[in-house]
Structure 1
Amino acid sequence: MLSVLVIDESRSRAAEICAGLALAGYQVAAILADSANLTAEVEKLQPDVILIDTESPSRDTLENLAVVHKDMPRPVVIFTQEDGQNAIRDAVRAGVSAYIVDGLDPKRIKPIVDVARARFEDTQAMRRELEEVSRKLSDRKLVDKAKGILMKARGLDEEAAYHAMRKLAMERGQNMARVARDVIDMARVLL
């Protein structure tokens, strides 16, 4: 069962939200009046989703969400009356998956949470893919630099330098980037 951390300064609105979550088949992990201890609460409760109902998301709330998004990312839904472009942009930058303006209808909670979760999963997949591409590019730059060092130091052509590094990687059971780092480190010591 999906667990949801609810943040709402109004106890009566929080009760409505909890009723809507129960009807949607979700479990309420906890109800917080504000986001002051958000990181600690998320770490302790491990909710699947964070749902915030507020007139306007405060700077503190967005900063706390950004910290959670960096360290313990999860879908975040904000229901608010604030429809300004800057508020929306700031919320998205803080990791908000769904920013719903003009109130909360408990009957709409399930589809909104489902959309937020799907968007969050897509965003996380893109982030992982970007990190992988960045790592590969960084590794490629290391290998190219190490090849250049071998070409200069041993008078090898590019293909021979690559094969020498490949052979060393296979002998050591390491990847090419690790061998390239070793070559670069040794060149700093010896040259």
Structure 2
Amino acid sequence: MHSLLVIDPGRTENSAEERSSPTPDSILSSCGYVIGTAASEDQVFPLIGDTDAFILHLPVTEISYWRSILVQHKVAPVLWWCTPRTATLSVSACGDDIMVDGILSPAMQPQEIHWILHFSSRQCFERQQWLKEREQLLSRLEERKWIDMAKGILSKARNISESEAYDLLRKQAMNERKRMVDVATSIVKVYQMLQDQT
């Protein structure tokens, strides 16, 4: 991980006291990272392509909004930069479903920042893999549902067992050079259409 994008919509609103304290971009660049900064969506989009991780320096209540925007454009870890300014609303937002891959703060040493970024990257990509696997499982379950319905229809219509109906479906799919689920879906839809007409 080399290039980080710090998103800080409140940057121009900071008090003189906050401006005198180290900013996330100055701390992270002193740790050896290449830093981009943005205060609005318009500033974010041109910088997304080269970004390895997003650092959100904003109140907890805005994390979900920004995260949803960012992950639509790129899969990368999203971390929250926790400071007194960004944590002021955290107590009221504790019940919210806030999803971040890690939390950083100005008090962290460079080595701690490196490890948090490393682990957040792993967590982000493991979650992406899990989501893909979940989608595949849901897709298989949906296919299984159509095949089971078609087996039931064939079994009833032809007065055969479900295993014979399954073999018939498989043979038909091979003959038509289609996936079994596509043949099953066609059978179920034709059956439902015929049922609706009677």
Q: Which residue of 2 aligns with 1:52?
A: 56
Q: Which residue of 2 aligns with 1:77?
A: 79
Q: Which residue of 1 aligns with 2:34?
A: 27
Offset of 1:161 from its aligned partner? Answer: 0.7
TM-score, scaled to structure 1: 0.77
Number of residue pairs aligned between Structure 1 and Structure 2: 178
Offset of 1:190 from its aligned partner? Answer: 2.9
Name the SS of the counterpart of 1:174 in structure 2.
coil
Q: Which residue of 2 aligns with 1:145?
A: 149
CA contact (8 A) 2:5 2:53 kept: yes
Q: Does 1:91 align with 2:88?
A: no
Structure 2 residue identity aligned to 1:3: S
Q: Deviations over 1:125-168 (max 9, x none)?
A: 21112111111111111110111111122222101110111011
Q: Which residue of 1 aligns with 2:6?
A: 6
Offset of 1:43 from its aligned partner? Answer: 7.1
Name the SS of the counterpart of 2:76 in structure 1.
coil
Name the SS of the counterpart of 1:4 in structure 2.
strand
Q: Which residue of 2 aligns with 1:115?
A: 119
Provide the alpha-carbon RMSD of the alignment: 2.8
CA contact (8 A) 2:63 2:98 kept: no
CA contact (8 A) 1:20 1:109 kept: no
Cα distance change of structure 1 residues 161 and 48 upon mapping to structure 2, 3 Å threshold? same
Structure 1 residue identity aligned to 2:27: I
Cα distance change of structure 1 residues 20 and 115 upon mapping to structure 2, 3 Å threshold? farther
Structure showing greater Rg:
2
Cα distance change of structure 1 residues 125 and 6 upon mapping to structure 2, 3 Å threshold? same
Q: Which residue of 2 aligns with 1:173?
A: 177
Offset of 1:174 from its aligned partner? Answer: 2.2
Cα separation, 1, equivalents of 2:92 and 2:27: 26
Offset of 1:182 from its aligned partner? Answer: 1.1
Cα separation, 1, equivalents of 2:163 and 2:96: 49
Which region of structure 1 is more displaced relative to structure 2, 106-115 or 137-146?
Answer: 106-115
Cα distance change of structure 1 residues 162 and 31 upon mapping to structure 2, 3 Å threshold? same
Q: Does 1:184 align with 2:188?
A: yes
Cα distance change of structure 1 residues 74 and 43 upon mapping to structure 2, 3 Å threshold? farther
Name the SS of the counterpart of 1:90 in structure 2.
coil
Question: Structure 2 regions of 5+ residues with no counterpart?
Answer: none
Cα separation, 2, equivalents of 1:16 and 1:60: 22
CA contact (8 A) 1:2 1:48 kept: yes
Cα distance change of structure 1 residues 124 and 184 upon mapping to structure 2, 3 Å threshold? same
Q: Deviations over 1:23-53 (max 9, x none)?
A: 1xx433x2012xx417x83476322210123
Query: Aligned to 1:37, which of 15, 35, 41?
Result: 41
Cα separation, 2, equivalents of 1:66 and 1:165: 42
